[in-house]
């Protein structure tokens, strides 16, 4: 997961949660720097048939940040699972 911001404000930390369906539990799947954070799916979700319906990002900004614009959220497969050259 890669996050991009417009302007000068940048998050210092991101916590990523995923949910299989809206009434379901939010499961933490990543913590790290927003430049590039690897998602760690629970083992039960790695069966090739599970679809995550929603992702929630909790962003931490430096003290004094009054506004920020998240301009892009990019989701790439891990190197180990990529099939294209």
Its pTM stands at 0.85
In the structure, what pLDDT confidence band is assigned to residue 83 with cuts at 50, 70 and 90? low
Q: What is the CA radius of gyration of the chain?
A: 14
pLDDT at 85: 45
Residues 18-35: tens digit of each pLDDT: 999 999 999 999 999 988
In the structure, what pLDDT confidence band is assigned to residue 79 with cuts at 50, 70 and 90? low
Which residues, at least 6 apart from 7, have a Cβ–Cβ distance to it below 8 Å? 68, 69
pLDDT at 12: 96
- What is the percent of the chain with per-residue pLDDT over 70, rounded to a whole number? 92
Sheet holding 54-60, edge to edge: 27-32, 13-19, 54-60
User: Looking at residues 3-12, what average pLDDT do you find?
Assistant: 94
């Amino acid at each position: 997961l890669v996050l991009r911001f417009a302007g000068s404000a940048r998050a210092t930390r991101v916590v990523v949660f995923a949910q299989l369906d809206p009434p379901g539990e939010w499961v933490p799947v990543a913590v790290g720097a927003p430049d590039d954070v690897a998602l760690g799916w629970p083992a039960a979700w790695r069966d090739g048939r599970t679809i995550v319906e929603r992702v929630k990002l909790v962003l931490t900004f430096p003290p004094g940040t009054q506004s920020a614009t998240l301009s892009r959220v990019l989701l790439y497969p891990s190197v180990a699972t990529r099939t294209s050259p």
